Homo-oligomer: A and B are copies of this chain.
Amino acid sequence: MAATETSQHVQRLFSDYLERNKHRKTPERFAILSEIYAHEGHFDIEQLYGRMKSKNYRVSRATLYNTMELLLDCQLVRRHRFQGAQAQFEKAHAYRQHDHAVCDRCGKVQEFCDPRIQQIRNTVSEVMDLEVTHHALLIHGICKDCRNERNEQ
């Protein structure tokens, strides 16, 4: 699927979501979604704010936070807290399910997929009678580079 196609598609999904939930379709909301889907990888609110500012979008941090709540609710965005207090986000649609491995020394985050996680989800859902919406698996460790550095010192 081409980038523009995906972008149009999520705009549509967001539009439908707003309509369903009687929220207003403001230009800011669509501009934010568009900016998010124009980039790959993780970002925090400050980075998103900076990117929009630099393109001369007039948007406030408050609106960014508010809009992220909506985008989380309709599953177009996912939120992580890898380390520290500040939340990291990433787009969630048309981006295959994946999890994260983080190096606790340098903070580097890598992605991986493993089908077994789906089986675990199914089991947990059954056993606990939980209507599972999503999950986050974070594997912590020390990456190769950091191990080498440690040994050199």
Choose, from A28-36, A52-60, A115-123, the stretch at the interface: A115-123
B116/A130 in contact, CB under 8 A: no
Q: Does A9 contact B (CB under 8 A)?
A: no
In the complex with contacts A85-B85, A130-B101, A130-B103, A139-B121 CB distance below 8 A: yes
B137/A131 in contact, CB under 8 A: no
In the complex with contacts A114-B123, A120-B117, A135-B137 CB distance below 8 A: yes
A138 to chain B, nearest CB (A): 5
B129/A140 in contact, CB under 8 A: no
Q: Does A107 contact B (CB under 8 A)?
A: no
Residues of B within 8 A of A112 (CB): 124, 127-128
Choose, from A16-24, A89-97, A141-149, the stretch at the interface: A141-149
| Chain A residues within CB distance 8 Å of chain B | 81, 85, 101, 103-104, 110, 112, 114, 116-117, 119-121, 123-125, 127-144, 147
In the complex with contacts A121-B139, A124-B139, A139-B121, A133-B104 CB distance below 8 A: yes
- Beta-carbon nearest neighbor of A85 in chain B: B85
Residues of B within 8 A of A140 (CB): 132-136
A4 to chain B, nearest CB (A): 31
Residues of B within 8 A of A136 (CB): 136-138, 140
